[in-house]
Chain A
Amino acid sequence: MLLADDHVGLLKAWGRLLEPSCDVVGSVRDGRALLEAAVALTPDVIVADLAMPEVSGLDVCRTIKASLPQIKVVLVTGGGDENVARAAFRAGASAFVLKYAAVHDLQVAIERALTGDEYCSPTVRMKSAESTR
């Protein structure tokens, strides 16, 4: 498990949430560092913030999907709607999780990702996503 968020407090929160069930191999604070760490550490799952400095979460997804397709990316975001979620899935993300719902959703999202399914926080309004696709 590799964590990436520019907010230190949140990085620690992810750690607290996941360490009981996962092996956190590293945590970084920007997109570029994340890509480097991913190549170096080849985690099973990356939990990354959507809005990161240097390289955004979406770009990370695209790069990972292209070069390390076996790594699953779970994108977390402080706020987002179905359009952003859709863009995230199109970029290659396996899950899209709202940060304030992480306590409930993050574990489920990681499990789904590992089984090859997609997951999106239920509070993201997905009802019209298909109509604009």
Chain B
Amino acid sequence: MSRFSRRARVRALIALVLFCACLDGRAHGQTATGKRPKKVLALHLIRRDSPAFDDAFRAELNTALSGQLDYYAEYIDLARLGDDTYHTALRNYLRERYIAADGVDLVIASGPSVVSFLNQDRTLFQSVPIVFTTRPGLLAEPPSTGIISAIDLSGTLSAALAAQPNTKQVFVVSGVAPFDKLYDDIFKEQQAAFAGRVAFHSLSGLSMVDLEQRVRHLPSDAIVYFLSLSDDGAGHTFMPLDAVDAIAAAANVPVYTWHESALGHGVVGGHLHSSLNDARETARIAARVLQGESPQSIPVTTVHSYTYEFDWRQLQRWRISESSLPAGSVIHFREPTLLERYRGYVIGGAIIVAAQMLLIGGLLIQHSRRRRAEGALRRSEARNSAILRALPDLMFVQDRNGRFVDFHTRDPKLLYVSPESFMGKTVRDVMPASLADRFMIAIEQVYHTQEPVVIEYELEVDEPRHFEARFVPVDNERVLSIVRDVTVAKRALELNRVLAGRVIVSQEAERQRIARELHDDVSQKLALLSIDVSQLSQDLPLPEQRPHLEKFASQVEEIARDLYDLSHRLHPSRLQMLGLVESVRVLCHDASQQRDVTITFSEARIPDVVDPSVSLCLYRITQEALHNVAKHSLSPDASVRLERNGDEFLLIIADSGIGFDPLVADHSGLGLASMRERVAILKGQLTIQAAPGGGTRISVRVPVTPPVADTELVPEPA
């Protein structure tokens, strides 16, 4: 707010006018085109917004004249308009400045006050067309044209009462200058429509100090309507916007107004008049005149330059909802919300938070999965551990070089050496050389075949013990060996074998004894009886009695024959008589005769005299095998081969029959077990090759000289 004495204001005005004129003179001269530019003088009141009107005029005219514009502006002190001295001085100045020189092509009168000033002496710009902005009821002297700016003060009132429906009182602020009174009078006319709705209180004529004091303590159901204040009741002159600032700052209720320029100075807003819009309209008409149209041919039109405009900050301050404002209202000075102000940060932050949430979510899911996996792993490990504890076996993990990298044992006493002595060392470092070789061969075989390999071996731990080591591949680098102490099983097996051997041997011995008894005693006696009966028959005196005795003799003969057969079945006495080769040949012959099978026999290098136990073994196996051929194989033929290879006899019985699966079938009926036992007694080897549909081949290797240890089990020869 500024308050000046009248003298000081006049001095300041003259200085300002001169200064502005100098500025404009420097700024606008002849253009470079040579064509004389249009010289335009705009006359304004001294107002804060006047420079903006200049901009509008200049912009419009420049566009219309393609830059051929020589623009000047002068500012008239509103406060001095009633002062003749001022008028005279101003006219002299203008005449001297513009008319005496080159003259002007057009004068723009920006506002009714300027029109009034020019109308006082039309000779000043005689014949120069005037384009004006004026109020209703005031036109410039011809030659002139322009616009009448409509005055609508009730629009703001309607909007204010709609925004604040509880309003009961309207305090109207206006000054005492003629200009102020003009608007005060218009308002009084327009307020009549609201008479029954609210009470109007005029604050006209008060000093600014009193005015401020008054608006500071208004009732809550009141609003302030700022009309116009150039001079207060105390005679002080104000720039209108300074007055707006002061009143709005002091008021304890919302302040409304009707002019656009007041927005941003503490007022809520209203149905605001845009002087700038008037200026543009005025400039357009000025351009037409400058382009040659006659002012008289352009009719004066009324322009309604009002829009609903509000200050967002004041709406917030007075808690006025935007929804209560008229449709199409323009809200200014909207402060961005935190979101709008920090949109980048907010979006970035949101993205970061979302990313973190995703990350945390992912980590939680992963954590959950890992816990489940760990749980499963723990259970698996517990189960494996329980299995390991339950197993009596030793376990070792070795690399390809046979180096021990891990082990497990239920009982450390089962270990050949202590863990410190073998962990990290190779098999060759720890085990006896011959055994280490077998281990390394097994490990190498596992690597190559990726199949389990089983070896059996004997090792002196606390006593000589038998072990079975089962090698399986773990991965490309390691082999797992499961070592089981099979000593007990091995001994049981051995005992079983020995017992089975003894059973066979004793059975053979008993059969031989009975056979011999039958042959040496019963058979001889029968023979004797037969001879006696025959002789008696020949000695009988009556020939007709002979047939009875001869029949009796033939019965004895038959018994003797049966007895011989029985004896032979019990023990092959002819083995001794005929020898091994001949006996086996007879076996083959008999089998061929009795069954429908063609059996071929061949032999090589078999001596005349063969140890009776070996002979009996080979004979019995041939007998059993040929029995199987005839009974089970369904083979049309078979072969028996007997030969001596160095210290061994080799017996092979082969057929091309249906064979059998040695791993599946129950072969107890085939006598294979007794074959094995017979061979085992002699420490020989029996191999059975058989497959379903692929025939059967039995190979026997026995030593020519039977082992000494078992001779006690071998029966004496017949």
Contacts and interface: CB of A to CB of B under 8 A. Distances in A.
A29 B391 CA distance: 70
Contact of A100 (B535, B560, B589): B560
Interface string B545-578: 0000000010011001101110110000110111
A25 interface: no
Contact of B525 (A9, A51, A83, A123): A9
A99 B527 CA distance: 5
B528 interface: yes
B531 A79 contact: no
A103 B556 CA distance: 13
A26 interface: no
A84 interface: yes
A100 B526 contact: yes
B586 interface: yes
Contact of A78 (B527, B534, B538, B593): B527
Contacts of A67: none
Given A51-B519, A78-B523, A83-B574, A17 B560 contact: no
Contacts of B520: 6-7, 51
Interface string A24-42: 0000000000000000000
B648 interface: no
Nearest to B586: A83
Q: Which among A6, A7, A104 has the highest number of chain B CB atoms within 10 Å?
A: A7
> Per DSSP, are chain B's interface residues mostly helix, strand or loop, or mixed?
helix
Contact of A87 (B556, B573, B582): B582
Contacts of A56: 576-577
B527 A10 contact: yes
Nearest to A59: B577
Contacts of A2: none
A79 B560 contact: yes
Interface string B572-616: 011011100010011001000100000000000000000000000
A98 B577 CA distance: 16
B577 A78 contact: no
A100 B558 CA distance: 9
A87 B577 contact: yes
Contacts of A17: 531, 535
Interface string A1-12: 000001101100
Interface of B: 519-520, 523-528, 530-532, 534-535, 538, 553, 556-557, 560-561, 563-565, 567-568, 573-574, 576-578, 582, 585-586, 589, 593
Interface of A: 6-7, 9-10, 13, 16-17, 50-51, 56, 58, 78-80, 83-84, 87, 98-104, 123, 128, 131-132
26 contacts: A6-B520, A9-B525, A10-B528, A50-B577, A51-B519, A78-B519, A78-B526, A79-B560, A79-B561, A79-B563, A79-B565, A79-B568, A83-B574, A84-B574, A84-B578, A87-B578, A98-B560, A99-B560, A100-B526, A100-B553, A100-B556, A102-B534, A128-B589, A131-B589, A132-B585, A132-B586
